[in-house]
Amino acid sequence: MRPEQRDAAYVWDMLDAAKAVHEFVANRLFHEYTTNRMLRGAVERQVEIIGEAANKVSKEFKEKHPEIRWQQIISQRNVLAHEYGEVEDELLWKVATVHIPGLIQQLEKLLPPLPEEK
């Protein structure tokens, strides 16, 4: 697989996980998030996936797309994976409800349109 194809695959993984987070928190309140262990776990896992995929995107691709906050995304993943006792519900809720919608828009611009099904 060519490097640009790998980058596109990782960006697609990021987008897919971001859309899942957006779906999980749609029409939910912070109180629901903090009291629903399954919801919190699902959001945390998808944010981890976003960060893991971002970490695998090539340096060249990241440099071409500085509008994506690559390092912050990767850092959030590292907190979730390695410092899980330090996860703050308020911060992750903000990521899910404020930052993820914008990230989805940014990532969609980086991917070619999918061929239409017939």
Indicate the SS3 state at residue 55: helix
**pLDDT for position 114:** 64
Distance in angstroms (rounded) separating the CA atoms of residues 11 and 107: 7
pTM, 2 dp: 0.90
pLDDT in tens, 54-113: 999 999 999 999 999 999 999 999 988 888 677 899 999 999 999 999 999 999 999 977
Domain edges within the chain: 3-109
Is 117's pLDDT higher than 60?
no
Structure confidence at residue 64 (pLDDT): 96
Question: What region, left, alpha or beta, does residue 11 occupy, with left being phi > 0 and alpha being psi -120 to 50 degrees?
Answer: alpha
| pLDDT at residue number 1 | 58
Cα(24)–Cα(77) distance, rounded to whole angstroms?
18
Predicted pLDDT at 85: 76
Distance from C-alpha of 102 to C-alpha of 42, rounded to nearest angstrom = 20
Residues annotated as part of the active site: 77, 82
